């Protein structure tokens, strides 16, 4: 839930000339359930809240809302000059529209600033404040002094919380409610507008003719004060912030020509579109319209922070002023002007950390004193978002089983089929002619007949290779474990002189093969079967693969082509 | 050796699932989401024995978040609310595996409405029973445990909520 403003103090209190008194302020509305009330105090002599160390001049003894006493936010017990002290409390029964600040002041007049903000959207539970950024809230500077160097430099721009020291949004990336209390001094006296951006100061610009506004100002040219230092993007794009009538808004410009910013285009239209902004009631002649403390992001066009400013107090000389800024004490009037800002807002969702800047500029001056705190609150509703994933690898075990099946298939079916087929083709086929004997003899002795030689030789070579495929036969043996048969066929189709010798290496058996028959060899022990047969001068050998043994057989089938005479 | 897995299907959960498919048991219409406080490192430290982990007791125990207001019963997960199976990937060991997955259709939100913070919530489990504190074998069967995807340990202050979206993947591993 985002931080939402409910009410702010906008009242006038008369100067109090006393050593001690209770200032009473009337709130626009009483805090209600689910709301917080935050009170920021400031004096230009420092404030010692109740319970803090004593000895300083200004002691705030109590801050109450109705009958309920507010507590100092942890860490906000500052005794230094120009630092705010922040009281806060969630709604409690007994709170009313009456806010009382009781103080003592042992010295001459000083200036007491009081800013009050009532907001909703933060948790009302105790301890809901999750973060305090005290020391170094102004990045690069100390708590109390803005030196001539550091983040402020000579530009008067204060960088607040850089990327390494950002406003944390430490509950996931939800919108983070925050409040910021800032004091700056050297209230400007001119009425010119200030132009600044988060990374530099551009100078003083006059927007009095309304070239730009957050209500639809169009592109145009903005005049700047003569002699001011202005960053020139030289055709690029630079951004500035204008404190307008209805709050801060950003604009871009593309160049500088003489005393004009050119190519200006308003961005972030809308009152609360960009940065915490608010148009405080400025009393005539008492203060200037200027850049006040704002929170801006490192992107001038992306409203990562939203919020508003309240309780901007302005120094007045001995008279009452708006927003609870009043002179207190016995003597004279305060001489150190200062302003107190109390800003509340929420960063946008989706940021684990939020970079923010406090942009402050005093017209023609360098900030010399000031300080601030930022506090983040726990959202009223906080939800962590998580996911969990479990991979059901149960399936993987099933697949592993299937792998085993696949292995079985490998053994049983596909290779067996192929290998059986291979066996079936593993034939020792002899081709000869009716005069094969003569032809082969011729072949052996000489290459007497070129026409015959390739015919016989090629045929035999092919047959031997096929028949002697041990791998094929061996595979048959393995894959046909249940059958254990290996077939080698020799078929004779001619009547001629022939000799067949089958040798099973394992059993050394010779087998006579009658013509035109297939011979089945029964294997009595493991081994390969080799054999050859000679037919009318032709001879073919074969060799089976590894046969398993007793139950294996080798069926030897020979064939001899009946052809004509060579 | 410690397990490196970011989820565990305990033996009881595997048995339960096998009892449905292929053994034809009745699939539950409702499961339940629970939170555990045992650190995931401890569970991983059980090593390969982590499939023997059991809820709220046993040799390899996983301790459930204590019953409290806001977590008096485990939130239910209706079978019909699980999303359609879609393609996804997961990394198992050195392999990126294509998986089928289903994400529960809405985040389950648990809000600490008790009087004190809940600390040390390290993950969630899916069980067959809604009874917080019930142990494995005593009416509860846990199908799986998993830490939160960011590995974080969650503390829920009073009135804080945690919104959890579980995803269930089936991996044909090895692919």
Say if A406 is an interface residue toward chain B (CB within 8 Å).
Answer: no
Give pLDDT, residue A564: 38
Mutation pick from B113, B173, B175 vs chain A, by most beta carbons of A within 10 Å, is B173
Transcribe A309-360 into DSSP letters: EE------SSS-BGGG-EEESSSS-----EEEEEEEEEEPTT-SEE--EEE-
Chain B residue nearest residue A384, CA to CA: B162
Angle, CA A481 vertex, CA A478 and CA A482 arms, to 5°: 165
Cβ within 8 Å, pair B173-A396: yes
Please choose, from the candidates A480, A488, A482, A439, the residue with its C-alpha nearest in 3D space to the C-alpha of residue A459: A439
Angle, CA B97 vertex, CA B95 and CA B100 arms, to 5°: 165
| In contact, A261 and A251? CB cutoff 8 Å | no
For residue A265, the distance in angstroms to the closest alpha carbon of chain B comes to 43
| In contact, A234 and A255? CB cutoff 8 Å | yes
Q: Judge if the upstream peptide bond of residue B174 is cis by omega within 30 degrees of 0.
A: yes
Cβ within 8 Å, pair B164-A378: no
In chain B, residues with a C-beta closer than 8 Å to the C-beta of A390 are 7-9, 126, 144-146, 166-169
Give pLDDT, residue B62: 97
Of A125, A383, A396, the CB nearest to B171: A396
Give the model confidence (pLDDT) of A39-68 as tens digits.
888 766 656 555 444 444 567 778 999 999
Mutation pick from B160, B163, B165 vs chain A, by most beta carbons of A within 10 Å, is B160
Chain A residue nearest residue B100, CA to CA: A391
Per-residue pLDDT at A112 exceeds 80: no
Q: What does the alpha-carbon distance between residue A558 and residue A463 come to, in Å, rounded to a whole number?
A: 11
User: Dihedral sign, CA of A320, A321, A324, A330?
Assistant: negative
| In contact, A63 and A69? CB cutoff 8 Å | yes
Give the model confidence (pLDDT) of A196-254 as tens digits.
333 333 444 545 444 555 444 556 777 766 665 566 777 777 666 565 544 456 667 78
Q: Give the other-Cβ count within 10 Å of B41's Cβ.
A: 11
Q: Taking residues A373-377, report their average pLDDT.
A: 69
Of B14, B101, B165, the CB nearest to A394: B14
Of B9, B161, B172, the CB nearest to A399: B172
A40, two tokens: 């920021």
> Going by C-beta distance under 8 Å and a sequence separation of 6 or more, which residues neighbour residue A358?
A137, A138, A158, A159, A160, A180, A182, A293, A294, A295, A372
Helix (H, G, I), strand (E, B) or coil at A283: coil
Cβ within 8 Å, pair A391-B170: yes
Between residues A187 and A426, which one has the greater pLDDT? A187
Of B158, B169, B174, the CB nearest to A125: B158
Helix (H, G, I), strand (E, B) or coil at B60: coil
Say if B157 is an interface residue toward chain A (CB within 8 Å).
Answer: yes
> Going by C-beta distance under 8 Å and a sequence separation of 6 or more, which residues neighbour residue A425?
A466
Size of chain A in residues: 566
Give pLDDT, residue A48: 58
The CA-atom distances, in angstroms, between A424 and each of A415, A428, A473, B172 are: 14, 11, 9, 40
Chain B residue nearest residue A381, CA to CA: B160
| In contact, B89 and A353? CB cutoff 8 Å | no
DSSP run (H or E) holding B41: helix B40-45
| In contact, B44 and B50? CB cutoff 8 Å | yes
ipTM value for the complex: 0.77
Of B124, B158, B173, the CB nearest to A388: B124
Give the model confidence (pLDDT) of B137-148 as tens digits.
999 999 999 998
Mutation pick from B85, B89, B105, B171 vs chain A, by most beta carbons of A within 10 Å, is B171
Between residues A430 and A22, which one has the greater pLDDT? A22
| In contact, A304 and A347? CB cutoff 8 Å | yes
Chain A residue nearest residue B173, CA to CA: A396
pLDDT tens across the length of chain B (175 residues): 567 778 888 999 999 999 998 899 999 999 999 999 999 999 988 887 777 899 999 999 999 999 999 999 999 999 999 999 999 888 877 888 888 889 999 999 999 999 999 999 999 999 999 999 999 999 999 999 999 888 889 888 887 888 899 999 887 766 5
């Amino acid at each position: 839930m985002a931080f939402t403003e409910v009410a702010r103090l906008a009242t006038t209190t008369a100067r109090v000339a006393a050593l001690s008194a209770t200032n009473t302020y009337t709130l626009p509305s009483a805090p209600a359930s689910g709301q917080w009330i935050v009170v920021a105090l400031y004096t230009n002599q420092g404030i010692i809240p109740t319970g803090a160390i004593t000895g300083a001049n200004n002691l705030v003894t109590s801050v109450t809302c109705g009958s309920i006493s507010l507590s100092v936010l942890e860490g906000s017990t500052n005794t230094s000059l120009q630092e705010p002290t922040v009281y806060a409390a969630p709604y409690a029964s007994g709170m009313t529209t009456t806010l009382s600040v009781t103080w003592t002041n042992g010295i001459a007049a000083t200036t007491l600033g009081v800013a009050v903000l009532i907001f909703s959207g933060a948790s009302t539970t105790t301890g809901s404040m999750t973060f305090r950024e005290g020391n170094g809230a102004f990045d690069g500077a100390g708590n109390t002094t803005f030196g001539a160097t550091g983040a402020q430099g000579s530009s008067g721009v204060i960088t607040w919380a850089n990327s390494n020291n950002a406003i944390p949004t430490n509950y996931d990336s939800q919108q983070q409610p925050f409040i910021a209390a800032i004091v700056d001094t050297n209230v400007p006296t001119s009425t010119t507008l200030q132009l600044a951006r988060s990374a530099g100061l551009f100078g003083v610009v006059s927007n009095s003719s309304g070239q730009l506004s957050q209500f639809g100002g169009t592109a145009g040219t903005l005049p700047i004060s003569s002699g001011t230092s202005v960053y020139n993007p030289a055709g690029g794009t630079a951004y500035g912030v204008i404190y307008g009538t209805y709050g801060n808004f950003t604009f871009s410009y593309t160049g500088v020509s003489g005393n004009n910013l050119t190519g200006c285009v308003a961005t972030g239209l809308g009152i609360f579109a960009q940065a915490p902004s608010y148009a405080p009631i400025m009393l005539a002649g008492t203060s200037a319209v200027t850049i006040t403390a704002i929170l801006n992001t490192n992107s001038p066009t992306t409203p990562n922070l939203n919020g508003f400013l309240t309780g901007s107090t302005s120094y007045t000389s001995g008279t009452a002023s708006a927003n609870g800024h009043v002179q207190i004490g016995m003597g004279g009037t305060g001489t150190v002007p200062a302003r107190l800002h109390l800003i509340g807002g929420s960063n946008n969702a989706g940021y684990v950390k939020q970079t923010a800047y406090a942009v402050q500029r005093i017209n023609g001056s360098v900030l010399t004193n000031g300080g601030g705190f930022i506090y983040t609150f726990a959202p009223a509703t906080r939800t962590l978002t998580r996911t969990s994933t479990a991979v059901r690898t149960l399936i993987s075990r099933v697949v592993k089983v299937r792998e085993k099946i696949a292995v079985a298939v490998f053994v049983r079916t596909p290779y067996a089929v192929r290998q059986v087929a291979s066996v079936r083709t593993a034939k020792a086929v002899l081709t000869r002619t009716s005069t094969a004997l003569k032809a082969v003899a011729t072949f052996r002795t000489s290459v007497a007949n070129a026409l015959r030689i390739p015919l016989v030789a090629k045929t035999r070579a092919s047959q031997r290779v096929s028949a002697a495929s041990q791998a094929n036969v061996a595979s048959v043996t393995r894959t046909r474990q249940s059958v254990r048969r290996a077939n080698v066929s020799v078929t004779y189709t001619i009547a001629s002189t022939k000799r067949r010798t089958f040798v099973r290496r394992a059993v050394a058996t010779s087998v006579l093969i009658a013509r035109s028959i297939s011979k089945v060899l029964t294997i009595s022990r493991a081994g390969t079967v080799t054999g050859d047969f000679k037919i009318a001068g032709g001879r073919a050998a074969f060799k089976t693969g590894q046969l398993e043994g007793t139950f294996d057989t080798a069926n030897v089938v020979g064939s001899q082509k009946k052809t004509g005479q060579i | 050796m410690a397990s490196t897995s970011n989820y565990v299907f305990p033996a009881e959960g595997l048995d339960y699932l096998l009892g449905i498919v292929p053994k034809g048991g009745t699939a539950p219409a409702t499961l339940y989401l629970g939170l555990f406080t045992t650190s995931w490192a401890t569970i991983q430290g059980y090593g390969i024995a982590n499939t023997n982990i059991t809820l709220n007791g046993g040799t390899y125990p996983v301790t459930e978040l204590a019953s409290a207001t806001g977590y008096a019963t485990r939130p239910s997960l209706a079978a019909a609310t699980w999303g359609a199976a879609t393609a996804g990937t997961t990394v198992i060991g050195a392999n990126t595996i294509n998986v089928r997955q289903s994400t529960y259709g809405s985040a389950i939100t648990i809000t600490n409405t008790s009087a004190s913070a809940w600390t040390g919530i390290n993950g969630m489990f899916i069980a067959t029973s809604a009874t917080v504190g019930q142990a494995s074998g005593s009416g509860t069967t846990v199908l799986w445990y998993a830490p939160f995807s960011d590995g974080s340990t969650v503390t829920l202050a009073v009135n804080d909520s945690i919104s959890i979206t579980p995803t269930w993947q089936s991996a044909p591993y090895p692919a």
